[in-house]
Amino acid sequence: MTDAKTEDGQNPARNLGQVDDSFYLIGIGASAGGLDAIKQVISQVPENFPHSFVIVQHISPDYKSLMAEILGRSTTLPLCEVTDNMPVERGCIYLIPPRSNIVIQGTRGDSSPRLEDGVEEMQGNKGLRFSLVEPSPRPALNLPIDIFFISLAEAVGGRGISIVLSGTGSDGSRGIRAVKSNDGFVLVQEPKTAGFDGMPRTAIATGMVDMVLSPDDMIEEITRYIEMRDKGIIDVGEMFSKDTATYKKIVALVSEQSEIDFTRYKEPTLKRRIARRLALKGHDSPEAYLAELRDDTAEVNVLSREFLVGVTNFFRDLPVWQAFQEKILEDMFASGNTDQPLRIWSVGCSTGEEAYSAAMMLEDYRAANGISRDFRVYATDVNEAAIAVAKQGVYPEETSEEIPDDLLQKGYVEFRSGVFRIVPAIRNRVVFAVHNVAEDPPYTQTDLIICRNLLIYLSPDVQAKVITHFSFSLRKDAILMLGAAESPGQHGAMFQPLIGKLRIFRNRRVAENRRGKEQANYALTTSVPMPRVRRLSYRDQTPEDDLQRLLTGMLESNGAVICVVDENARMIKTFGDVSPVLHFPTGGFSAHLLDLIDERLRSPVMLAIRRAEAEGVSERRDLRMTLSDQQSQTVNLVARKITWQAHTVAYAVQFNIRTEELPKHPLAGVDSSGMPRDAYVAHLESEVRSLQDMLSATAEDLGASNEELQTTNEELTAANEELQANNEETQSINEELHTVNAEHAERISDLEAATADIENLLATADVGIVVLSNSLRVRRYSAGLAPFMDLGPRDVDRPLDNVTTTLTPDSMTLLADDARIALETKEESGRELRRKDGGWVRVRTRPFYGPDETPRGVVCSMQDVTSLKLLELEVTDQRERIETMLESEVEGVFDWQSAPGPSYLSPRFRAMLGYGETEVPDRLDAWLDLVHPDDLAAARAALETHLMSRNRETPLNIDLRCRRRDGSYADVQVRGRGMEWSDRARPARVVGVIADISQLRAREESVKRQDEAARRFVRVATLEWNALLGALRQVTDTLDETKQDVAFQRLNRLSGLMQRRMQSTLDFWDVEPGDLTIESQDLTALAHAAAGALRTEIMGTELKFEIGDLPAIKGSRALLTEMFETLLRIALEVRKTAKPSTIRLSQIEDTANEGAVVIQMLCPAPDVTPESVGAPGLATGSASDSSASDYGLEFCKRVAALHGGVLSVSYPDPADMVVTISLNADHAP
């Protein structure tokens, strides 16, 4: 078959041809179920398609394929079976021959002639050529699709296109990789539309597929791809994702000019087709294409044709079908001839959904009501591709949502992977055929016509013609169902609205078939007389002969003849002289009435018999026949349906014959009245009318017969095509089985190799492995399992709990439990088990699965980890010691890694800031997130400076603030140093401690405040003592004998005051909370005692003390008394004038501080402003240095603090001063 090859595999007598850039080469690979898909693809190829196809199928080696004949009905391109060394030409379809694989000899761009081994290359075509190679002998795997696709990719590269259609196995999946890698284009049939989805799904799984389409759409996409590739235009399929306004304008424009409402079509389909035309016209935006549509009516027409796709679905407009079931079906099954099946015609059925809907509803009604009358649905459409889809009865699974649930549950469809199929009980009742309702003869005697949403696409005159066909097709009172926007129009008189709003009509009268009358509308110019036949005589008559002779005489006297025929119109008996109507044929005897009867009576007789079959009796009158120039016959015909002897169905045909003398010729012997001429003309007119009636009946009969014959012929043609397709399919499946068997053999070989690998692995593995079944029985084990379990060949299938093992009983129980859990949860687990000698074994338990993803058993791997466990225990012990040491320290420890790796922050650091163990990760960036934003830059700078100095110059010692868990900040000190350094002189590790110095900071602040207070207090006390000494000098300077008593009293008072001030100064610094005597004190009594001590000083003044009810608290009597006396003295000393004034001491409520005693003193304001005094009191470093009241306020603040309280001074207005003291009633220092 092929030439001898050189060692490198090339044919020495063939050069590698040059690629022709004028066409693309398209390879189609298909197997089981691929014939219909190939037909659908090829049927879409236009006549002027310049590109070539190579169809590669799995076919039987001994089978003569009829593929060329079958595909020849679907295309005008030439088809030919590939022969060896055949040139590859444009515009052809090449088919694979039996017992061969196809390859293409040629590479891209190689056009130079070659001579190999002295053999000159073939002359003529310098392009690519086919070569036939022998397939691999069985049982070796033969993959003809892969072989060709790989050759296609090598030969034409980017000008190659591969298509994978229906089939099982994986053939083609390897070849598309080569096509794709060489810039080719790969298409795969949508698995839901494939009869066998193995090849499409395998191809899709490679990830090398450009588009997944139904076969009907492939040629259109290939054409688009080729034009786009030649023009360099990119895909614009998503162009309308954001621009919907322009899309609506385009649809409106096309709808307006085409007079078809395309807004009811599916929007994604319209957008895709607009985008395709847009790209083909070279536009880059929808607006530009819209502008062309407005200027180019031809392009609008092209786009409208793109829009015309079959729009149908199951039970469209469900209320119509519900009304049909409830109001129509009962009468329809009961009407007409109930012995005959109902005839339903589904017009414009598209892909068959509506026809199957009607069949399901009719069958459901029959079954529910016990009706025996059958039905047939004749479904027609002008689209051959749609009819091919409808015949399959296979639809996407999601389409089943359109079918009512009650019908789905009754088993009218069968679900498979991704699709559903109409069951044979329904499918066999539907006959599909290609039919043009406007041009082809209609079906006859139909009981129902379903034509919904077809008329709206036809012009008014065509609509009228179709409506007339419907009326002729339907029997009287039959049903017509139209679409929601359709009506009979001007022919409404033929139809009576039955359910008007749902467009369901009843046929009121049967329209005439004008087609037959028009063809038979011609005038007869002559009549041919028929010879009479002499009646035969018989001897030896029987009584029956006498009866017949009597009947014959009676019939002859009345000019009548009776012929009795069976249901097939074969003669049974005759009565009377049959010579006027019957004649013996010259070519031999025949008993069939049509062969014997006068040819002028054949049509009327057969029509009468047919009507008698339906109605019982049929009559035809005044049928005229001219016998000669002098005589003519008038025949009245009556046919009756009877029972005759053994014939249950027979027909008695009675001929009543009347012979008349013709008037003489009007030119011979006419009188003046002209009557002979008129009589002759009347006779001729009567005969013409009779002949016209006979011809009309004949034409009507021929028309009905022709329609039935045409329907029968179409059904037989369809059946023949299906038989041829089934035969081809059977052969393809046979080859496919060979391919699958070879693939299985290869897989078995692979499994054997894999089994050997597993056995070798188990025999040499050091790790202990035991494979358990679902029932925990030993299936396999490795040699490394010996230290843990004592297993031998006889232990296979032994239960796990019955094997000899070195593990402890508790460990074996845990192992069995882990295996059961792995089977139930489908999750692996691991644990460490103990051996009987005290060692440790690490066990991993994981389930393994079968092809159906269900657990098939458990794999347990075991490894001795005793040494590792001991080392781990030692490491754990040391770690616990270190952690205990770190926890005992007050400082936190850190170990930071600059490179990705484990870092460490001690738990003490987290606890120091109030965080849990997992709240702060062990990372440097996590720690820096806690640093106060004001301190972050300084911290980074200090850390960077230390790291850059490599521990030689700048130590890492940083004081900063870190955020606690409650949001407050703690003062911390960070000390550390770099420990490891990378190749780039960068530190790889930093170790140090973090100490909480918040208390140290607080003590420092407290010391600073006390030092400042002491300095201020000494200064104030010194000023006050100087003031007292000055007062003493004044007293001594003015001392005289007349005033000695008064002077001594004043000296005594001043000296006592100085003594108390000195003691207060000592107490201010020496008294601690623990040195005080705490008792319950009545503050009212203490305040009155303090006021009494100042009675002498306020005598002679207009100053009054008002002391309200004060509560009792726990405190120091001496300090509290001194505090009240000091406050009253301050109020006495800071008066502005000697005007009458009042000092009030009272308790106020403080709702914000429960449990506190708040005492308020209201007195005249001093000669200072609030700005000079400050808060919380006078003694805050103000400008009033010479006032002794600062000393007193400082003292009172100290007393309040010792009693858990605070003191503050405020000035609500310039004339008043308010001193507020808040004390803790339960304070116990």
CA-to-CA dists, residue 97 to 17, 65, 175, angstroms? 22, 8, 20
CA-to-CA dists, residue 723 to 715, 718, 917, angstroms? 12, 8, 80
Q: Are 515 and 703 in contact (CB under 8 A)?
A: yes
Summarize the chain as % helix, strand, coil (round to 5): 45, 25, 35
| Nearest to 1017, CA basis, from 1176, 1175, 1178, 1173 | 1178
Q: What are phi and psi of 978, to 5 degrees?
A: -70, 140
Q: Are 1198 and 1068 in contact (CB under 8 A)?
A: yes
User: Tokens 């687990």, residue?
Assistant: 829
Neighbours of 42 (CB within 10 A): 22
CA-to-CA dists, residue 160 to 20, 86, 155, 190, 649, angstroms? 12, 18, 8, 21, 68
Q: Are 1162 and 1218 in contact (CB under 8 A)?
A: yes
Q: How far apart are CA 1023 and CA 1060, in angstroms?
A: 15
Q: How far apart are CA 693 and CA 689, in angstroms?
A: 6
| Phi/psi-derived region of residue 1118, left when phi > 0, alpha when psi is between -120 and 50, beta in every other case | alpha
Q: Are 132 and 1 in contact (CB under 8 A)?
A: yes
Radius of gyration of the chain (CA): 59
Q: Give the tokens for residue 821.
A: 């859990």
Q: Give the tokens for residue 693.
A: 């009636």
Instruction: Classify residue 433 by burial, with Cβ atoms within 10 Å: 0-12, 13-18, 19+.
Output: buried
Q: How far apart are CA 676 and CA 426, in angstroms?
A: 69
Dihedral of the CA atoms 975, 978, 979, 985 (nearest 10)? 180
- Looking at the DSSP bridge assignments, the partners of residue 1222 are 1158, 1206
Strands (E), 147-200: 160-164, 185-189
Distance between first and last Cα of the chain: 119
| Nearest to 510, CA basis, from 439, 606, 446, 603 | 446
The runs of H, that is alpha helices, within 370-503 are 384-392, 405-408, 424-427, 460-473
User: Catalytic residue positions?
Assistant: 31, 58, 171
Q: How far apart are CA 778 and CA 772, in angstroms?
A: 5
Q: Are 1083 and 1051 in contact (CB under 8 A)?
A: no
Q: How far apart are CA 212 and CA 203, in angstroms?
A: 10
**Do β-strands 474-482 and 446-451 pair in parallel, antiparallel, or remain unpaired?**
parallel
Q: Give the tokens for residue 464.
A: 């009228």
Q: How far apart are CA 247 and CA 251, in angstroms?
A: 6
Q: Are 594 and 657 in contact (CB under 8 A)?
A: no
**DSSP at 87:** B
H or E, element range at 972: strand 969-981
H or E, element range at 1197: helix 1189-1202
Q: Give the tokens for residue 176.
A: 């598309």
Neighbours of 856 (CB within 10 A): 15
DSSP assignment of 212-243, as one string? Answer: EE-HHHHHHHHHHHHHHHHHTPPP-TTTTSS-
